[in-house]
Structures are given as structure tokens and as C-alpha cells.
Amino acid sequence: MRPVIPYVIAALLFGIGVYGVLRRRHAILLLMAVELMLNAVNIVLVTAATTVQATLAAAGVGTPYTGHVFALFIIVIAAAEVGVGLAIVLQLFRLRSSAAVDTVPLSDPDPPPDAAHATAAEPDPPTAEAVPR
Amino acid sequence: MIQTIDHVALLPAYLAAATAVLALVTDLALARRQVTVAVTATGAAATAVAAWVVGTGPVRETFCLPAAPDACSYVADQTSALMAVLFALLTLGVLGLSTGALRSLPTGEYCFLLAASMTGGVALAYSRDLITLIVALETLTLPLYALVGLKRRSLASAQGAVTLFVVSVVATSVTLLGAALLYASTGVVHLNQLAAALTGGVPAELQTLATVSVVLILAGLAFKVAAVPFHAWAPAAYDGAPVPVAAYLSTASKLGGVVAVLYVVVLGLRPWLDVIGWVLAALAIATMTVGNLVALRQRRVVRLLAWSSVAQAGYILAPLGVFAVASGRTDEALTLAVTATIAYAIFYVVIELAAFGSVAAMRGGDADGGEIEAYRGAARRAPLVGAAFTLALIGLAGLPPGLAGMFAKVAVIRALLGGGAGWLALIVAINAVIGLVYYLRVAALLYSTPPEPEPAPAAVPVPAPAPAPAPESTRVTAPVGGPAAAAAAEQEPRPGPAAGLAVPAEEPEGPPGSSAVPWAVAAALAGATLVAIVIGFAPQLVLDLATLAVP
Amino acid sequence: MSAGQMLLVATLAVPALGAAVVALLPRRIEQGARVTGTVAAALAFLASALLYLGRDWSPMIALGTPVQPWYQLQLDWVPWLNLQFHLGVDGISYPLVVLTTLLTFLCCLFTIYRVPEGGRGRSLVALLLVTEVGIVGTFLAFDLVLFFIFFEVVLLPMFAIIAFWGGERRRHAARKFAFYTLFGSVLLLVGVFVVVGSAGTADIVALTAGEALTRPIQLTAFTLFAVAFAVKSPLWPLHTWLPDAHTEAPTVGSVILAGVLLKMGTYGLIRIGVGVTPEGIAWAAPVLGVLAVAAIIIGALVCLAQTELKRLIAYSSVGHMGFVLLGIATLSVAGLQAALIGNIAHGIITGLLFFLAGAIKDRAHTGELARLGGLRENAPVLAGLLGFGAIASLGLPGLAGFWGEIFAVVAAFQRGDTLWVVLGVAAAVGAALTAAYFLRLLRRVTHGPAALQLTAPGLTRPELVAWSPLVLLALALGLLPALVLGMAYDPVTALAGVVP
Amino acid sequence: MTTHAPLAMLLPAIPFAAALVTLLLPQRSRAVAATLGIAGAAGALALTLVLLLTFDQPYGGYVELVRFGELAVSFGVRVDTAALLVAVATGVVALAVQVYSVSYLHDDQRYAPYAAQVSLFTAAMLLVLVAGDLIVLLVGWEVMGICSYLLIAHDRRLPAAPGAAVKAFLVTRVGDVGFWLGIILLGVGAGSFRIADVLAAVTAGEISGTVLTVAALGLLAGVAGKSAQFPLHTWLPDAMAGPTPISALIHAATMVAAGIYVVFRLYPVFSGATGVLAVLGVMAAVTMLLGALAATAAEDIKRVLAWSTVSQLAYMAGALAIGATAAALFHLLTHAAFKALLFLGAGIVIHAVGTNLMSGMGGLRRALPATFWSMTIGLAALVGLPPLAGFWSKDAILYAASGTAGWVAALVFAAGLATVVVTAWYATRLWLRTFFGAPRPSSQEGSPLQAMAVSGDPSSKPVHGAPPLMLWPVVALAVPSALLGFAAFAEAFVPWLQTPDPVEWAGEYVAGAQAPVPVLAEQELLHIGVFMVVPVAAVALGIVLAWAMWRRDTAADPARLLGPVRPVFAHAFYLDQVQHAVVVRPVTAFARAVRRTDEVVVDGAVEGTGRGTLGIGALLARAHRGAVPRAVAAVLGGALLFGIVAVTLGGAW
């Protein structure tokens, strides 16, 4: 019989993660939400591994640990991402003294005469939403 | 019992990793820029050679499951060899382009990150199961976050890095969720086992779960290829990054995405082509169209190239769209489509490298891409680099002087019509026309009359326009190089890279302080353009490689 | 490599090398570069003319394939795309090749002495040579994919010529030309691979003979070909790029554009439309006929209301190509022959007209008919030549333009049923309208009191040298149409035999 | 039996060669151009006479020019007596005009192109006369049209000349559309363009019914255009803007007669087609009266003669309509002679007086005696006073009309008789106003007459006596105007004018083949009998009327007595304005409308797609203007969307 509860937990966790990613303005908190999503995946993997192990053990074929290994890898990936991510967010914070994700524009701002090098310290923190270009 | 590991198969991966470590150690020990770059370059070259040598040998498999010896995680066959060589050569090319930018970037970290990313790429080429594939993909992408954000004190660079990082992390989590659910529904991770499991059919109650998982994996991989709707990160990341890193993003990173999609689709989801066929077709159409349309409005060069590379990703995925049609799912049609995809990818990376190379050579130093308007008349000051850039742009548009680009598009159309997806071929054709609009705008701008040197303070890093030749007509100076150079370039092989070295002597040097094109950048650009011209004249070479490399 | 094959390659290679050499000469040698370019063009003309000698005198229609090239050169280039470097020449394509090389040679010669504003003469000569490679390649290609490649080679050099040496709105006109023509040629590409996909080969000689293509394939392929070639030889609704491109192009650009670029469309329609997809063109012939006659009538009417000299001549091309397309639409031997000689005649006469229009515009600095007038007062020879060109273009019997027009109408009548007779009558009325607007042009430009003084009204020697071959050819073709039709009779009869 | 086909082919070649050589000459060499022109005309005339004298029966010869499918076009000749006679007339008039022009245009420095164009015209006319192939006939036909266009616009000083030239060419070109269709229908029907084959096919009935009728009507349209018959006659009076010798050659003797000649040559086509001859008859009747009446009120001497030509051509058309082909051709020959004479005479008068308007002339009989006497003969021939040429030919037509059954013949006879009266009237008016009464000072001062009037001495010779080179051709032409009528008495002459029976020699002639003697439809040309009194009475009536009106006030214009009708006649029933309103203005308006739609709709669509694509691009670009959360939302949303669609639709297709 397939375990249902862990899948439900994983689904909920992933939902919360997604909600966190979409709502949170601060980069670090957004990172945490992503970690939640990754851990949800881990849960799915571990439960799936046990069910596979059960079916395979019955059939006598021995490759039981794929799921677990996959979970380990995901943990490693998450760790690496957090490491690099924090460094980048820090750099942004140092430059913009704000790590708000929604102030990072996707398309090029109106090219002020000298768009090449933004001055180091921005005198006034940018308003919540840059004037729509 | 200890699993036997075939170290010869792993040699390219070892060499790549070794390059990364060596780069770090040399920088630590000697801290001299040329040496670090030289070490990384030799490492990349060695990886390429090793991958080629291993590729020519018999198919080597290692890290196989004890129970099922054919399900192996690491397979060194012809496909992997081609992809690994491509990754290595691209890294070498980007390294060549970076000598200009390295004046203001930490060389050690830069070379290490680049080599690490190359290792990820090489590992990806050889991976045959979902875990190795995703991990290799992450190894390829992680260094890029740092590389994009490497420009100190540049807000755009930091913002680009954050954009890339956030979107990439979310996409990876989506992929991982897909992989996990797929593992949950099929119980296997190796691609060939997955194919076997799917032919057998997934138990009924898990059918929807499996379908969703497959789609989620494709969505995650589509992020890597920057396919619409997962593309929004590309323009900001490319523009913020230093030009060579943007080159790497648009070539190697995109190639990684394509390789991942190819392995998953062709090796893993072969029986379920009908399920994912339309996904690929929809992705391709959306990517082509949105990429081309938005590129029309861009005012900065690198952003334009970013959008154009989004559109080109659409063209690469287009042949895979043929799976949406029943007649496209036969073996013969599949080989046609995959060959076309690989061939287009190869043509694309070579021309894209030439394009970014030209931008790097023209802008020189560590400047960013800058406004398109700043390139007005640039081909007069630097005729050879101008000609290379025009040739690259026309190649991306797919028109004759850029024969490579044209044969790429012809191959795509041939594959689509071979598989019976005529409507998709028409969409590709229309997109080619839209594409020409912005490529031609930039190419024509290069040869138009340069602006009178108004006293604008803008530190136009491009060497100041040479003293205007005697205006022989009321119009402002005539195009010095003349578009003929571009047309002529198509006719006869370019003079050896050496000649393309510094800007030709007779071109009087601009005011002091403007840097001549460093020899490595010129060499990389000349090499890329030469390769583009050779494969333009003899596309069969690429097509043969691609046919061999069908997984 | 027989002598014939050497000539085939030479006709393509010489201009290509010429262009490369001219482009790579150091910038100091301006005049010298242009002269070398002209020498290359002359050699290309010579090679193309010699093509006629090399043909074997065996009976023209050998058994088997209806396409019987005099000799051909076949090398594998890209097997994956069924692409072979397959060149050949026969009675249909030979006159067009010689016309191309002649016009390019005259243009290069003209550019030696007069470089239009906007760029250096050497780049213009190099671009003209590259355009020549593209056009001659299209006429010589006997492989569908190769045909497409050469079809596209022409696009960028011509864009550059218009965009850099053109008139006021040259950028817009050049862009419009480039995108419209590319739209046509990408449809051609799709059509080509619809055919190659189902037939397995791209060799025109084999495709024309074989029954490899089923009817639905032929219909879809022909629709794509029809749109592509309709854009190129402007068939009425798809013609709006022509007036802008011709008006804004420099003189030599307009001559090449009107002289031979339009013929790639009609030649393609004959060689590929009729040859490879006969059922397709048979099915679409009435629609093609109606649009052709619409082109004749509307072209003539628009010219009647035109106010600018070069734009009027450009629109006259729409009318004349209407006659050629009507000839093709009848799908009879007489119709196809009328189309072929109509092509050559239009190339020569409109080439001459654009040379003259350019000369007038250079001297009077305006093309507006309202401000021109009384040309024969102060530039009698130029006025005389413009009169000759206009009269030849309105299809005066005895000059080259007449044969194409009347035998297109004859072919329409020969088809017999009411639609074609009505089309024939409408075309004849169109010919009368053509006479109306050309005479109105002459009255506005040459007759009447001298409106404005011209700079250097006299004709310079190079101008006369560049134009005299065209005048002589217009007269010679008028008196002896067999010059073109003699060699075209057998291949056209064979080709018309293929049509169901 | 020697056939001179190659020689006949040479006939058009001589003047053509002269034309080409003169064109290549630099403009200044007047003498060489003149001699070449005269030599060309003389050569052609000599060759025609040789051919005529050595002629024994019709022959033809063909050289294939080009083959379109199974239809071949061959440069061929088909010579018979009729062709040669008209060729003689053309040669004579051309020679006279070349000689006359030398002195008439003595002050024109562009004489070389003028002479070349006249030679080219002569070549084209001869080509039409001897052409054995319909397409070659069309070549000659249209080259004549373009020569008339070039020559009308020759005179730089006249502002109206270019407009008249364009009008002349376009009106004939409209007619030629019908001509094209006629020729094509016949050619396609007969499977060959050779006249012999076409006529054989028509008589054998291969082409019949509606096709033949439409073809005949088409040819008729072309003939109406070229021979200035109603409704396409409006261009001839305006063509008088050209130099007078040109009016004499082209617009009196040869080109306008070519239409009649073509009907004569292709007569089986017209007789075979039902109802076409009736149409021709009606057209002729209308044109006769229209031309004559318009001539009565014309003020310019050349316009009077132009309208007279229109009405005389209508006579010939009428004759053809009732089957009297010989009479028509006979009248064509006599008309060529006396109308050329009148025009050249008018040229001398204008040269002397300095104006075209008759109001500026008067009392010139003493000033220009030779011109006066020759023009008197001309006018008398025009009117049809016995024993001059005009009387015999016009009488033949009227007699034939009276003799033939059918309403068409009756209509032609009635119109003919009425026209005789009106012709007599305006001819006498012209005669009296030009040569009699007191010399009236012309409006332009400085004219020689001015001098004469001022000095009050009518006898003092005006400065401009008629120069010999202009006088001799006029006098020479007076001879045939007077004596050509008697040729009708020579029994050898009449068969020459007959149309050879088409069936007899339908087959072409290979040199040396024995050709059967053609059976002639017996048309006797001449009759002496009581009927001759009727036309003579009509002439007398016309002359007396005109003389009476003139005598009341010798200085004023007898036309003033026409009262309210005068302006109508002067504007030729306002047909010119009608044609402008009905044809010219609507076409130009339609052209402007088509141009606007073409630029706004078709071009608009193209530019619109361009702008539309840019617009969509801008829209999408704005959508990407958000911040990073929007990108993340796109990734997750995209994955969700694809998942839902995949699950719901599944691998449906």
C-alpha cells in the first residue's frame, strides 16, 4: 500500500515554498522559501525510495538506494546554491543597501545619459516601484 | 563488492576538474594573470583532445547498476564526445575573449569558475541518468551566478546575478520535483530504464502523476535553454554580465540546456513522445515569436543579442516540435529532427561566439555592450572586426553571406517538412523574416555614416573615429570598409588569424588610451569567424557530425 | 571538366573573384578598383556569351527528360539536404544569362565615370558583381536548393546598393525591399522542401521528367512557389516594394533591379512552376491570368496618374511583367515564348529607360514631371533617346516590346474559352493605356517650352557607350525576334508538353 | 511568268534604308538629308513603276521571321495591281512632299530628322501596301501612326502641336485595339497570319459566324481610327498643327487612305461577315455629311481641307460598303492627287500670307497665278466638275450606289448627293475667299499682304512669290488631278482596280509556279449616260449658292449666312468636347482613384503589417518591464499551465 501522508506533507510544503517565493520581497527570505521547496522534494524522494525498495525487495532485485542518494545530492545542491546565493545577495545589498527582489528590474531602465557605471552609493533608496517606463 | 570504474572514460571529466583546481592553485601561487589564463586554456584544450580521443574509441560505460549492467550513469559514446568537445572548445573561445575584460576582473576566480562550469558541462555530456544529469546541470549553472556578478561596483552586474540566481533556483526546484515524482511513479532514474518502464506503461493511477512529472522536468530544462515563458531572466543576466560571460551564457549554458532536453526526450521519454511532442512545439513557437518580436524594440546591443539568442533557442527546439505530429514520431523522422537540432545548435554556438567576440573586440576593455547607436559607423573604424560582426549578424539572420546560418535554417525546415510538420516550417519561415528586421538594422548601422564627433562626454570606449577621410561628396564620409567586405568575406577565406591581429596598421590609431584589440580576443574572433565560414561552405561536415551524434 | 563546364563555372567564378579583389584592394586605389571590377564584368559577359558555342548540335529533344541542358556540371555539396552544385544552361536560360552579364558590365562601365552619392564607387562595383553572381546562379541552377541559395544571395547586396547609394527615403525603401523579398524566398524554401521531401531528389532535370510528385504535393508546392515568384516578378497585389525600391535606388541599381532581378521571378515560374509542378500551375492558371491582367490594367492606370519620373517607369514594369505572366499563365508554347521574349525585351528597354531617367534626374536634380519640360530644347539627344525608349516600351511593333505583348494576347486567344478571350481583350486595352501614359510622359518631359535649365545638358561619351548596346538590341530584337526565340523554341515545346 | 517577290520585298526597304542613314547623320547636314529623302522616295516610285509595268499576275513570297507555337510570323509580300497603283500614288505624293519640304522648311535646322521620319513613313506605308502577313501589316500600320505622331509634333513654335500629336496617336491607338483583336482572331482562326491563308479560311468558311463578325468589326474600328471616320475622326482636324507637307502626305493622301486600302485588301472578311458592311455604310454616310458640314464653317484653310478629307474618305468607305471596291480605289487614287495638290497649294498660300486663317487672305489670284490655277483645278476635281478626275471617280461611286439594291446603297446615295452640294459650296467659298475680293490685312502685322494693302496697290508683287521648289510639285500634281479620270476609259485600267478573286490564288506562289488567271467580278467603272446629269446639277447648285452668298459682301465670310447653325458646324457638332468628357476625363479620374487605392490599400496593408509587428513587439517588451518576481511567477505559472494542459488533453493528438 503506498504511503499517502508523506506525499501530502511534501505537497503542502512545496505549496508553502511556492507561496513564500512569490510573496516575499527580501532575497534571503525568498531563498528560505526555495529551501522549503527543495526539502519537499526530498520528502517525496525518500518516501518513493521506500516504496520502490519494498517492491524491489519482494522481487529480489537489489538496487534499493537510488531515492536516498538522490535526496543526498539535492541537499548538496541546496547547500551550494545557498552559499553562492547569499554571496550575490550580499553584493547587491552592499550596492543598493536593499535586497528587495522586486526592485531588481528585468528590462533595461531608461538609459540615463551615463548608464555605464551606476554610482556606488545611491543617495536616496529607490521608491517601492520604479516609475513604470 | 567494489564497482569497477572505467577511468579512461572519465578522463575528460578528470582533466576538466583538474583544470579548475590548477587554475585556482596557479593564481594562488603565482598570481600572474597570463599564467593563470594560459593554464586554464591548456586545461580546456586538453579536455577537448581527451574527449575527442575517448570519443573515437569504443563506447565506454561506467557507474552501471550492479543489477542491470546496461543502465549506466556515465556513458562515453559519440554523442557525449561531441558535446564534451563543444563545451571545452566554447570555454577556450570564451577564455580567449576574456583577456580584455580580465584587466578589471579577479583572474583566478574567473578562470576557476569558468573551468568549473566546463566540468559541469563535460559531466552533463556523459550523464545518462536523471541524478547525474541534474547535478551536472547545476555544476554548469552555479559558477555562472558568480561569473555574472563578478564586475565589482556594477549595479547592473549584481542585479543580473540576482535575477539569474533566483529564477534558476526556482527552475531547478521545479525540475527536481519533476524528477522526484517521475522516480516515484516509475521507480527508475536511468534514462534507458525509464524508456523501458514507460513503454511498459505506468500503472493507471500514476498515469497523471507521470505526465505532470515529465512536463515539470521539461519546464525546468526549458529554463536552461531560456525558452519562453521561462526566459525573462536572460536579457538582464546577459546585459549585466561582462561580455565574455554573456557569450558563455548564450553558447555553453544554452548548449547544456539543449543537451539535457535531448537526452531526456530522446533517451528517456522516447515512448511518450506523443505526450511531450506538443509541449516542445508550443515552447518552440512561443520562444521564436516572442524572442524575435521583443528583439525589435531593444536599444542595447547585448540585450538585442540576448533576445536574439532566445529566438535562436526557439529555432533549435523547432525540429523537436515535429514530435507533436504522428508522422513526426517515426524513427526516420526522429533522426532527421534530432540531427537538425544538433546541427543548428553547432552552427548557432559558432556564430554566436563570433558575434559576442566582435562586440568584445569593438568595445574593448571591460566595457559593457553599450547602446546600439554607439555602433553607428563602427565598421569604418575597424573594418575587419566590423565585417566579422556583420557576417555574424547576417549568419544569425540566415542569409547567404552568412552561409552557416542559412544552412542551419534550411536544415530545420528540411527536418520539419521531412516529419510532416509543414505548419511549423511556415512559422519558422515567418520568424526568419522578423529576425532579419533587427539583424539588418544593426548591420546597416555599422556601415552608416558615423555621427559628427559631437563633444558628448559619453566615454565611448570605441576608439575615436579615425580622422574622417576627405569627404568627397556633400554626404558625410562614405563607408570605408564598405559592405563589400562582408560580401567579400563570404567569397574567399579570411587571411590567417595573424593578419586579423591588431586593427590593420594603416588604420590610424585613435587618440591615446583607447586599447587596441588584445591579440587573444582577435585570435578567438578570427578563429570563430573562420570556423563559421568553413562550415558555411561545407555544412556537410557539421551535418555528418550531427548524424553521428544522434543518441 | 569539359569546355562547357569550365565556362559555366567561369561565368559564376569570375564576378565572385572580381568582387573579392575589388573589395580587398587598398583604399587608395579608387579608380583602379572600379576598372578591375569592370574588367571582371566584361570577362563574365564574354564567358556567358561563349556558352552558346559549346552546346552540342545533337537533336535538341533527346528522348526521356523534357529538360535538355546543353551541358551541365553536377557536384555533390550537401547530400543531407539533397543539395548538389548542379549548373546547366539551355535555350530558356541562356538569353537571360547573357542579358544579366551585359547589363552588369554596362553598369560597371557607367560607374567608372559616374559614382552616385553616398559611398565609394569600388564598393558599388563589388556589390554589383556579387548581385550578378546571385542572378546568374539562379538562371544556371538546375538544383532546387541551389536555386533557392542563389535566389537569396541577391538580397543583401541589392539592399546595400539601395540603402547606401539611394535617394532620400533610401533606408525605408531598402528595408521594405529586403523584408518583402525575404518573405518571398522563405516561402520558396518551404516549397522546395515540400517537393524534395516527397520526391527524394532536388534535381530539376529529374523532377521535370519524373511523375514523382502526387497531385496534392504539387498543389501545395505550387501555391508556395507562386507567392514567392509573385513577390519577385511583382504580380499586382504583391508589388508595392517595387516603386519604392526602383525610385530610391541609384541609377545602376534601378537598371539591375528592373533589368534582371524581376526576371528571376518569371524564370522561376517557368522553370519550376511549369516544369516541376505542372499540375499545380495548370490548376492555378486562371487565377494567375486574372492577376496578370489586373497588373497590366492597374499598372497602366497608376502610371497615368504618376507625378514622378522614376516611379512612373517602375510602375510600368508592373504592367509589362503583367504581360509576361499572362503569357506564362496560358501554359501554351506561344504563351511561354511570348513570356521569354517579353522578359528580355523588358530587361533591355526598362534598363535603358532607367539609365535615361537617372541621367535626367542628375541634370535636372528633380524627377517631378510638373517641373520637368522642354527637354528637347536644351538636351535634344537625351530627349530623342527618351522618346525612343518610351516608344519601344509602349510596344511599338518593329521594336522589341511588341512581340511579347501581342503574342501573350494571341496565346490567351488560342486558349479559346471565354475567360481567356476576355483576358486577351483586357490585355490589349492595357497595351493602349500603356501608350497613353508613355505619350503623356513624353509630352510632359520632352515637349513644350524649356522649363528649367539643366547642368551639363550634353551627353558624355561614357553615357553614350553604356546606352548604345541597349538601343541597338531593342531595334535588333524588334526586327529579328528569332535571336531569342530560335534557341528557346525546342526547350519550350518540351516544357509545355509536361503540363497536363 | 517572272515573280518579283524579292524585288517587292525591297520596296519598303529603300525608304527605310534612307531613313536609317538620315537618322544617323548629324543634324546640321541639310543638303545630304534632302537628297537622301528625295532619292528614297524617287527610288521607291521607280521600283513601283517597274513592278507595275512588268506585272502580269498577282504573286507572293514569304520568309519566316519567327514561330510562336504553331503560329508563324513571316515577312512576306503579296503583290497585285491594286497594291502597286496605290504604291505609285504614295510614291508620287511622297516625292512631291520631299521636294516641296526642302524649300518649305528652309529655315528649320532640324530638317534631317524630319526628312528621315518622312522616309520612314513612306517605308511603313509601302510595307502596309505589299504586306502578305497580318502581323507585318500591323507593324507597318503602327509605325505609320508613330511617324504621324513624331511629325505632327515637329514644329517647335506651335504650342498646340504636342497635344495634337498625342491626341492623333492615342485616338488611332484606341482604334488599333480593335485592329489587334481583329488580326488575332483571324490569325488564330486560320492557324496562320498569312493573308492568303486567312482569306482562304474565310471563304472556305473555317472562320465564320460571330468570330468573323467580331474580327471584321475589330478591323473596322482600326480602319475608323486610321481613316478618321466617325466616331474616331476627331484627331484629323487637330493634326493640322503639323507642317503642311506632312498634312499633304500623311493626313490627306496616304495614311488616312491606308484604312480604306486594308478593307479593300481583306474584302472577303468584310463581305463574309454579316452586317459589317451595313455598319460601314452607315458610318460612311454619317461621316460624309459631318465632314462636309464642318468644313463649311471652318475658318482655317487647312481645317477646311482636313474636314473635306474626312468626308471624301467617307465616300470611299461608302463605296466599299455597297461593294463597289473598284470605284472606291479609283476615288482613293484621284483623291490622293487633288487633295495633296490642295494642301501643297494651301502651303504656298500660307507661306505667302503668313497666316492660316482665310480672313487674312483674299485677292491672291494675281499675286500667285500658278498656285491659283493649280488650286482651281484641285478644287474643281474635289467638287467633281467634269471632265476632271474627281468627277469620274465620285460619279462611279454615286452610279454604283444608285444601281445597287438595299437600304445601305440608298442611304449612301442620298448622303453622297447631299454631300456633293455641300462640298461644292465650301470649295467655292474657299476658292472665292482666298483668291478673289479685296486682299484683307491679316491680324498678324508685318505680313507681306500688309505691305500690299498699305501701299494700296494690289498689283505690287508681295514679297513672297511661290519659290520654284514649292511650285513645281503643285503644278505636277495638277496633271493627274485633271487627267486621271480618263484612265477609267482605258480598258486595261479597270481590271487593275478589281479585287482579285481570293480563292483563285489562295496558294502562295513559289517562284515560277503557273498561276491561273483570276476571274474578275465584272465591275464596270464607267458609264456614259443620262445619270451623269444628276451630280453635275448638284455641283452647279452648290457653286451658285456659294457665289450668291459671297457676292453680297466680297470682304465678309459667306458662312455668316448659315445663322445659328454656324457655331455648331464650326465646332463639328461639339464631338471633340463630347469625346473629352466621355473618355478622357473619366479615364484620368479613374487612374487617380486607382493610384490612391493602390497606395492606400495595398501599400497600406504592407506598411501596416510592418507597423503591427513593431507594435506587438512594443507590447511584449512592456510586459517584460517588471521585476524579478514577475520572472519567477512566469516560470512557476508556465510549469503549472503546461502541466494542466498535458493532464487534461493528454497525448490527444
D residues 544..583 contacting C (CB < 8 A)? none
How far lies D532's CA from each of D385, D393, D409, D423, in Å?
Answer: 11, 12, 18, 17
Phi, psi of B6 (to 5 degrees): -90, 95
Q: Given the DSSP bridges, would you call strands C83-89 and D59-68 parallel, antiparallel or unpaired? A: unpaired
- Cβ proximity of D57 and D111 under 8 Å: no
pLDDT value at B473 more than 70: no
Predicted confidence at residue A129, as pLDDT, reads: 38
D556 shares its domain with D602: no
3-class secondary-structure state, position C71: strand
Q: Closest chain C residue to B429 measured between Cα atoms?
A: C186
Q: What is the mean pLDDT of residues B517-532?
A: 91
Do D325 and D461 lie in one domain? The reply is yes
Pick the range with the lowest mean pLDDT from D46-50, D313-317, D467-471, D499-503.
D499-503
Residues D391 and D292 occupy one common structural domain: yes
Q: Is B474 on the interface with C (CB under 8 A)?
A: yes
Confidence check: pLDDT of C167 > 90: no
Q: pLDDT confidence of B474, banded at 50, 70, 90?
A: very low
pLDDT of residue D363: 78
Closest CA to B70 of B155, B11, B129: B129
Low-confidence winner among B43-47, C32-36, D648-652 (lowest mean pLDDT): D648-652
Q: CA B294 to CA D623: how far, in whole Å?
A: 10
Q: Which residues of D touch A106 (CB under 8 A)?
A: 624-628, 630-631
Confidence label for A109 from pLDDT (cuts 50, 70 and 90): low
Region of poorest pLDDT, from B305-319, C383-397, D424-438 = D424-438
- H-helix or E-strand containing C86? strand C83-89
For residue C424, which residues of chain D lie inside 8 Å, CB to CB?
Answer: 181, 184
pLDDT for C238 beyond 60: yes
pLDDT of B326 > 50? The answer is yes
The pLDDT, as a whole number, for residue C55 is 66
- Look at residue A120 and tell me whether its pLDDT is greater than 80: no
Distance of CA D553 to the CA centre of its chain: 38
Chain B hits for D636, CB-CB cut-off 8 Å, are 170, 174
The model's confidence at residue B188, banded by pLDDT at 50, 70 and 90, is confident
Touching A: D residues 52-81, CB under 8 Å: none
Which range has highest mean pLDDT (B236-250, C49-63, C201-215, D201-215)?
Answer: B236-250
Q: With a cut of 70, say whether residue D454 has pLDDT above it.
A: no
Residue A27, CA atoms < 13 Å, CB-side half-sphere: 31
Q: What is the pLDDT of residue B498?
A: 35
Could you tell me if residue D221 is inside a domain? Answer: no
Contacts of B173 in chain A (CB under 8 A): 17, 34, 37-38, 41
Same domain as D626, residue D508? no
Would you say residue D109 lies in a domain?
no
Q: Residue C456 in 3-state DSSP?
A: coil
Would you state the pLDDT for residue A1? 63
Same domain, D530 and D588: no
Q: Average the pLDDT over each of D99-113, D133-147, D307-321 and give the range with the smallest value.
A: D99-113
The pLDDT tens digits of the residues spanning A52-67 come to: 887 776 666 656 688 8
Instruction: Show residues of chain B in contact with C171, CB under 8 Å.
Output: 444
Q: What is the largest CA-CA distance in chain B?
A: 85
- Residue D225: strand pairing partners: none
Residue D145 placed within a domain: no
Query: For residue C362, which residues of chain B lie inside 8 Å, CB to CB?
Result: none
How confident is the model at residue B490, as a pLDDT? 37
Can you tell me the mean pLDDT for C182-203? 93
Summary mean pLDDT of chain B: 85
Cβ(B517)–Cβ(B361) below 8 Å = yes
How many Cα neighbours within 13 Å face the side chain of B349? 28
Render B332-360 in DSSP notation, one character per residue: HHHHHHHHHHHHHHHHHHHHHHHHHHHHH
Based on the domain organization, do D595 and D457 belong to the same domain?
A: no
Please indicate, yes or no, if residue D340 is contained in any of the structural domains: yes
**Residue D581 sits in the same domain as residue D627:** yes
Picking from B208, B211, B216, the nearest residue to D639 by CB comes out as: B216
Asked whether residue D387 falls in the same domain as residue D327, the answer is yes
What does the pLDDT read at residue D75? 87
Instruction: Tell me, yes or no, if D587 comes closer than 8 A to chain B by beta carbon.
Output: no
Work out whether the CA dihedral B152, B157, B163, B164 comes out positive or negative: negative
User: Searching chain C, which residue's CA lies closest to the CA of residue D192?
Assistant: C410
**pLDDT at residue D441 in the model:** 66
pLDDT at C50 over 80: yes
Q: Within a domain: residue D107?
A: no
Domain that holds residue D360: 275-567
Q: Quick one: D471 and D614 in the same domain?
A: no
The last residue of one of the domains, among D520, D548, D567, is D567
pLDDT digit string, tens, across residues D417-428 = 999 999 999 999
Strand ranges (E), B228-288: none
The verdict on D458 and D490 lying in the same domain is yes
**Position B143 pLDDT exceeds 80:** yes
Look at residues D567, D593, D621 and tell me which one is the last residue of a structural domain.
D567
Domain for residue D648, yes or no? yes
- Residue A117: pLDDT band (50, 70, 90) is very low
Give contacts of C163 with chain B, Cβ < 8 Å. 444
Residue C364 has pLDDT above 60, yes or no: yes
In our burial notation (b when 16+ CB lie closer than 10 A, e otherwise), range B176-195 reads: bbbbbbbbbbbbbbbbbbbb
State whether D527 and D629 are in the same domain: no
Quick one: average pLDDT of D605-621?
Answer: 93
Angle at B363 between CA B360 and CA B367, to 5 degrees: 95
Contact C447/D at CB under 8 A: yes
Alpha carbons C307 and B11: distance in angstroms, whole number: 76
Indicate the residue of C298, C425, C432 with minimum beta-carbon distance to D598: C298
D439, part of any domain: yes
Q: Mutate which of D625, D635, D636, D640 to test chain A, going by most A C-beta atoms within 10 A?
A: D625
Q: How confident is the model at residue C60 (pLDDT cuts 50, 70, 90)?
A: very low
Nearest residue in chain B measured CA to CA from A71: B180
Mean pLDDT of C399-409: 92
H/E stretch holding B62 reads: strand B60-64
Residue C243 in this model has a pLDDT that exceeds 80: yes
The single-letter code of the amino acid at D605 is A
**pLDDT value for B451:** 63
**C431 interface with D at CB cutoff 8 Å:** yes
CB proximity list for B158: less than 8 A, separation 6 or greater:
A88, A91, A92, A95, A96, B149, B240
What does the mean pLDDT of chain A come to? 79
**Res C128: pLDDT:** 95
Instruction: Indicate the average pLDDT of chain C.
Output: 90
Report B:284-343 residues touching C (Cβ under 8 A): 339
ipTM score assigned to the predicted complex: 0.86
Instruction: Quick: pLDDT tens for D550-596.
Output: 888 777 777 777 788 888 888 888 888 998 899 999 999 999 999 99
Domain count, chain D: 2
Q: How far apart are CA C114 and CA B211, in angstroms?
A: 70
pLDDT digits (tens, 9 = 90+) for A1-27: 678 899 999 999 999 999 999 999 899
Classify the phi-psi angles of B359: left when phi > 0, otherwise alpha if psi is within -120 to 50, otherwise beta: alpha
D597 plus D517 within the same structural domain: no
Residues 6+ apart with CB under 8 A from D186: D134, D198, D201, D202, D207, D215, D269
The pLDDT, as a whole number, for residue D521 is 46
Q: DSSP 3-state helix, strand, coil percentages of chain C (rounded to 5)?
A: 75, 5, 20
Q: Does the pLDDT value for residue D319 go beyond 80?
A: yes
* Type of residue at B281: A
Flag whether C touches A (3+ CB pairs, 8 A cutoff): no
Indicate the average pLDDT of chain D.
Answer: 84
> What's the mean pLDDT in A104-118?
58
End-to-end CA distance of chain B, in Å?
31
- Answer whether residue D526 is part of any domain: yes
User: What integer is the mean pLDDT of C294-312?
Assistant: 93
Tell whether the model's pLDDT for residue B503 goes beyond 80: no
Establish if D615 touches chain B: CB-CB under 8 angstroms: no
Q: Which three cell numbers stand for residue B156?
A: 547592473
Section C358-383 average pLDDT: 86
Query: Of the candidates D545, D567, D589, which is a domain's last residue?
Result: D567
Percent of chain B beyond pLDDT 70?
A: 87
CB contact under 8 A, A22 and D624: no
Q: C381-390, C402-411, D545-554: which has the minimum mean pLDDT?
A: D545-554
